[in-house]
Structure 1
Amino acid sequence: MPFVDLHSADDFASIHYITNSFFGNVGGFDPEKPTVCILHPTFLDSSWLYAQFNDPRLDGEFNLIAFDMRVSGKSEARYSGKHDSWVDAADLAFCHQALRLSPFHILAMESVAISCALRFATLFPEMCLSLALCNVPAPTECVISIRPFILHLFVTARRALLTRLHCRLKWIYTAYDELVQTWCFAEDLESYEHVAMEAVTFTFGSDTPLDLRDDLIAYWETTMNPRRRQRVLEQANLVMNRTPLPTEAYPHITQPILIIHGDANEACPRKYAERMAHELKAVLYTVKGGGGYLSIPPGTASIVNQVYAKFVSRLPHTRSDPAVPSISTEERMREALALLESLTSTPGLHARDPRSSLSFCCLPDDIIQSQSEGLTAYRKGQTLAYLPLGPTGKPIRRYSERPRDDWFETQTERISYAGGRFFSEPAAQRKDRHLPLPQSEPMSPADNRLRRGTFTPSSVEKLVIKGSMAKVVTGSQPTLHKLFL
């Protein structure tokens, strides 16, 4: 399998990648075709990009390459609290130079990939030809472009806006926190499947197809189970502790940009995509009815592929000849560190080790310490944690094939009520019974009050009948029949 090994004094990562070439490596690229680098969605890996790699509109027109980020898929790395999106951008730059790739187009899927793509285009513009961003996430805080000489006029208003924005986004972080905690410390299969189903609903929506839901849960059981809880936590940290792109970085992003956004995505409201399109002078395309992870469901994935193929076809044609660097990798990364220091106003960045991706970390010291302590805590008992896999290393069952022994079921209206499948007798025989069981009725969502019982103390008669069992049954049937009817 093709890997790119990145090693330094304080870091090690083995980055796995796939291509659409015949031999699965960059040596089989057609030099006449442009190259497209696809960044996989959050909490998934490059194997979930089959809708793009199997589409003739992309596979036939471009050289495709996709990297697994350092804690995703088949990539392996030393866990670190310094991992942020600037580190992911540095990993991508190291891989670009190690494989001698020509400048490529970037197609980024979801929040973590978009953060990496924007930072890569900022620090390494000569390696990036264009950007396509699917489902732009909301920033953790509002970044407003204001000239320095009028900044003091908007300090109060900006603080109020940040407070309102933080309140609106708090539910997202609360959901992530609860999901990760339950996910990593599940003690049985039912608990793990429950939290995995909640994750599917949170990321893809409540209308996820059954087959896709089963595949997602099976993938997470295999690659992100409680025995790999450190990997789960580090990926969640990228989302929960991300920082917005500095406003000073916008002038450095001069590539053509396409933003594709689903108008039914609750976690990523459309207004943030419109704001980024305005800031970066990008083209915004809205997918009607599109929710989360546009690149995976067949319907929205086909739309994304079509729109992206047309976008790239309008750009100047480029070849994919192997690049010959004019300067060494160490010198180029040192220049990127100096630029990053000027953008973030973080002193001492230029003096860090340019051979390490962790040198590009821009997280505050308290966040780094918090993430490091969390990784250390999650490591305790990790090897003895619950493993939702069978002896063969495969999931024990598909989620849709689990035994349904609960009484209440959730139907399309998101309301739980008792179904009739728990009775052993056929429906035709139950109709002939003298004592029909009462059938519950689902409430409509429009009903905003609870139903109240109508039984009174006089509704039930107290009967004491002496005699044989047949006499008791025969004598009590009319009364019971009247009671239930």
Structure 2
Amino acid sequence: MPFVDLHSSDDFASIYYTTNAQFGNVGAFDPARPTVCILHPTFLDSSWVYAQFCDPRLDAGFNLIAFDMRVAGKSECRPSGRHDSWVDAADLAFCHQALALAPFHILALETLGVNCALRFAALFPEKCLSLALCNIPAPTELKWVYTALDELVQTWCFAEDLESYEHAAMEAVTITLGADTPPDLRDDLIAHWAMTMHPRRRQRVLEQANVVMNRTPLPAEAYSHITQPVLIIHGDSSESTPRKYAERLAQELKAILYTVKGGGGYLSIPPGTASIVNQVYAKFISRLPHVRSDRVKPVCTTEERMREALGTLEAITGAAGARARDPLSSLSFSCLSDEVVQRQTDTLDAYRQGQTLAYLPLGPTGRPIRRYSERPRDDWFESRTEGMSYAGGRFFPEPEKPRMPQSDPISLEDNRVRRGTFSPTSVEKLVIKGSMAKVVGSQQPTLHKLFL
């Protein structure tokens, strides 16, 4: 399988990639076609860009390549509290340099891909021909999304049985794709997560969540460095990524904004919205100058080019001493404060404890034990699409579908306060043992105090 190994004195990452070429590597690329790099959605990997790879509007006219980010899919890395979207952008640049790729177009999907693409375009403009961004996130995470992800990751990583894990996975489907996700797609997502992001890999789950939740806004100075043509595709029904942030970014970058009517989260996955995204993107890129994909030896060495990028990073973010960091390490591009790095490192260490003995929602063959839709329903309650349960029958009117709460992005001050709750000890577990008489007797003083 094709991998790019990134070695340095303080970091190691093995980045997996796949292409639409005959043998799945860049050696079989057609030099007459332009190249498109697709960045996968958050909490997924390159196997979930099949809607683009299988669409003849893209597959027949372009060389397609998709990378698994360092904490996703088949890629592997050493856990680090310094990981942020600037590090992801550096990983992409190292891969571009190592594979001797021609400048490519970028199709970035959802929060993780969008943040990486914007930073890559600002630091390495000669490697990026254009940007297409799907569902623009807020500069920092919305408060209700942050709270939901905080609780979700905790439940997900420390699930102790199949029902608990499936409940957390179902909540993840609701947050990412919405409550109306088709049952087949929902089952495929939960099965994928069960095999790739189970509790025995909870460090990877947490590290990817840290990149999303603890992100800092892109400095205004970076916009002047992004001079490529930009297309923004945004779903008007995405509650976790309100349209106003897409409009603001479109104004900053003088981009084309296309709204997908009825489009929710993860536009590139449901067949209906994925076809619209592919059609709009194919039309956008066909209007740009045709660029061949001849593989040529880089003009400067990797060390020289990355040192230059560190200088650009220092000018954009004001990170003192960035130019003097190790240019051969992706972690040198991290822009997190020392306080955040330390807290993320401590939490990753805490999640590592007992990880190898955590619950595994897979059978002996390494496949999921069951499909989510095939789970037994022993109680007399009926679970609806919005995640709530109702008694069977039609004694009451059909409840209205609840909408996600509306809120503003978290401030940097709020973000610093909430990072402390991202810990395995933040959920208190109550285990009841013994006869009911003993349990009730032991709880009477506590109950008495509660009602006084």
Contact 1:42 1:113 in 2 (8 A): yes
Q: Which amino acid aligns with 2:151?
A: E
Tell me the TM-score normalised to structure 1 length.
0.81
2:21 pairs with 1:21? yes
Change (3 A) 1:74 1:411: closer
Find out whether 1:256 has 2:229 as its counterpart.
yes
Q: Which moved more, 1:5-14 or 1:407-416?
A: 407-416
Q: Does 1:442 align with 2:396?
A: yes
1:346 pairs with 2:300: no
Q: Distance in 1 between matches of 2:400 and 2:191?
A: 36
Report whether the alignment pairs 1:408 with 2:384. no
Counterpart in the other structure of 1:271: 244
**1:32 aligns to what SS in structure 2?**
coil
Equivalent position amino acid for 1:38 in 2: I
SS at match of 2:249: helix
How many angstroms does 1:444 deviate by?
A: 4.0
Q: In 1, Cα distance between the equivalents of 2:91 and 2:335?
A: 15
User: Are 1:380 and 2:334 counterparts?
Assistant: no
In structure 2, the residue matched to 1:107 is 107
Partner of residue 4, structure 1: 4
Cα distance in 2 for residues equivalent to 1:89 and 1:104:
14
State the Cα deviation string for residues 114-154 of structure 1 (Å, max 9, x = none). 0000000000000000000000001118xxxxxxxxxxxxx
How far 1:325 sits from its partner (Å)? 1.3
- Contact 1:415–1:442 (CA under 8 A) maintained in structure 2: no
- Asked if 1 retains the 8 angstrom alpha-carbon contact of 2:236 and 2:262, the reply is yes
Question: Which residue matches 2:92?
Answer: 92
1:181 matched to 2:154: yes
Residue in 2 aligned with 1:71? 71
* CA shift for structure 1 position 342: 1.2
| Mapping of residues 148-167 of structure 1, within 5 Å | none
Residue 180 of structure 1 aligns to a residue whose secondary structure is helix
Separation (CA, whole Å) in 1 of partners of 2:26 and 2:97:
12
Q: Which residue of 2 aligns with 1:467?
A: none
> Which whole-Å CA distance do the structure 1 matches of 2:18 and 2:262 have between them?
31
Does residue 300 in structure 1 map to residue 273 in structure 2? Answer: yes
Residues 335-364 of structure 1: CA distance to partner in whole angstroms, max 9, x if unpaired? 000111111111111111000000000001
- CA distance 1:440–1:307, shift in 2 (3 Å): closer
Match of 1:55 in 2: 55
Contact 1:19 1:66 in 2 (8 A): yes
Quick one: which amino acid aligns to residue 331 of structure 1? Answer: E
Q: Which letter maps to 2:135?
A: N
1:202 equivalent in structure 2? 175
Instruction: Name the SS of the counterpart of 1:252 in structure 2.
Output: coil
Q: Is the 8 A contact 1:10 1:356 kept in 2?
A: yes
**What value does the CA root-mean-square deviation take over the aligned residues?**
1.4
Alpha-carbon distance in structure 2 between the residues aligned to 1:316 and 1:95? 24
Q: How does 1:204-223 map to 2 (within 5 A)?
A: 204-223=177-196
**Distance of 1:58 and 1:18 partners within structure 2:** 15
Q: Distance in 2 between matches of 1:381 and 1:412?
A: 34
- CA shift, 1:440, in A, is 5.5
Identity %: 77
Instruction: Work out the CA distance in 2 between the residues paired with 1:16 and 1:286.
Output: 32
- What is the DSSP-based 3-state SS (H/G/I as helix, E as strand, rest coil) of the residue aligned with 2:119? helix
4+ long deviations beyond 2 Å: 410-419, 442-447
1:37 partnered with 2:37: yes
Question: Equivalent of 1:395, from 364, 368, 385?
Answer: 368
Q: Give unpaired runs (5+ residues) of structure 2.
A: 402-452
**SS of structure 2 residue aligned to 1:179:** helix
Tell me the alpha carbon deviations over residues 439-461 of structure 1, each in whole angstroms, 9 at most, x when there is no partner: 661334479xxxxxxxxxxxxxx
Structure 1 residues not aligned, in runs of 5+: 142-168, 420-438, 448-485
SS at match of 2:82: coil
Task: Please state whether the residue corresponding to 2:279 is helix, strand or coil.
Answer: helix
Structure 2 length normalisation: TM-score? 0.87
- Residue equivalent to 2:201: 228
Count of residues paired in the alignment? 401
Offset at 1:416?
A: 3.7
The C-alpha deviation readout for 1:280-323, integer Å capped at 9, x for no partner, is 00000000000000000000000000000000000000000002
What residue identity is the alignment partner of 1:388? P
Cα deviation, residue 270, structure 1: 0.2
Q: Is the 8 A contact 1:417 1:442 kept in 2?
A: no
Q: Distance in 2 between matches of 1:216 and 1:354?
A: 37
The verdict on how the C-alpha distance between 1:415 and 1:75 changes in structure 2, with shifts beyond 3 A counting, is: closer
- SS of residue matched to 1:330: helix
Contact 1:417 1:441 (C-alpha < 8 Å) held by counterparts: no
Give 1:247's match in structure 2, choosing from 220, 223, 230: 220
In 2, Cα distance between equivalents of 1:415 and 1:229: 27
Measured against aligned partners, the alpha-carbon deviations of 1:11-42 in whole angstroms (never above 9, x if no partner) come to 00000000000111111010110000000000
- When residues 440 and 63 of structure 1 are mapped into structure 2, their CA distance, relative to the original with a 3 A threshold, is closer
Paired with 2:96 and 2:388, the residues of 1 have a C-alpha distance of 51
1:171 is matched with: 144
**SS of residue in 1 equivalent to 2:288:** coil
- Contact 2:179–2:386 (Cα < 8 Å) also in 1: no
What CA distance in whole angstroms lies between the structure 2 residues aligned with 1:118 and 1:213?
30
Contact 1:417–1:440 under 8 Å retained in 2: no
Q: Is the 8 A contact 2:179 2:385 kept in 1?
A: no
Greater Rg over alpha carbons, structure: 1
Partner of 1:322: 295
